[in-house]
Each structure stands twice: as C-alpha cells, then as structure tokens.
Amino acid sequence: MKIAGGVAVSLLALVALFQLALALGAPFGKAAWGGAHSGVLPTRLRLASAVTGVLVYPAIILIVLSSTRLIDADLVPGNSSAAMWILAVLFVVGTLANAVSRSPMERSWAPVSLAIAICCAVVATSG
C-alpha cells in the first residue's frame, strides 16, 4: 500500500509541476486541455492550470498521503478507501479522456493517469 501511495504521489507531483509550468507560460499547450493550443496557453487555461497545480493536485496528494498513512493526519473523514476508489475512477476517466485526445502529446498522459488510477485502487483495496 505504501509503495503504491508513493508512486501515486510522485506521479501526481509530476502532473502538478507540469500544470504549474503551463500556468507560468511554458509552451506545452498541445499536451494539455484538449491539445487545441500550440505554444503558450491562453490566459483562462493558464489560470485553470494554476488552480489545478496549486490547489487540486496538492489536495489529491494530501488525500493519498493520509489514506496510505504516509503522513500522520486524518484528512479523509470516514472511510479513506472510499475516497481512494473515487480517485481511482476519476483517474480512469482521465485516462480515457487523454487516450482519445486529438493531440498525440496529450495522449502521452494516458499511461500516467492510468498508473495513478491503479495505485489509487491498490491503496483502496489495502485500506
């Protein structure tokens, strides 16, 4: 369980850093948000990347860390395996969305999302 949690956290941190790079103007628009924008993302998507990189992924990382007991905090009220199953399902949906993207660069995120989903499922079944 702890190995799966560690792998998930590492991959989630990678995605968060990628989103922060997009927010700061990195020219990787083809690899995100549907891949419709080459180069630097438009302002609205840069803001969305900022929120995702600063709030969403860090919150998910904290949920995974708490659920795997890699940190000593009870951040998930009730049953943490339910939260991990929800994350697993969301990342499977993300995998599918990335896999069917028109952008080959964005499709490269599908295996990352699938690996996170599998790790979340492993944590859910171990908890």
Determine if residue 72 is left, alpha or beta; phi over 0 gives left, psi from -120 to 50 gives alpha, anything else beta.
beta
Give the tens place of pLDDT for each residue, 106-124.
999 999 999 999 999 999 9
The pLDDT value recorded for residue 88 is: 98
The pLDDT value recorded for residue 72 is: 81
Sketch the domain layout of the chain as residue ranges. Answer: 2-126
The pLDDT value recorded for residue 57 is: 98
- % residues pLDDT > 70 (the chain): 99
The pLDDT value recorded for residue 127 is: 64
Decide: pTM greater than 0.85.
yes
Dist. CA 65–CA 102, nearest whole Å: 33
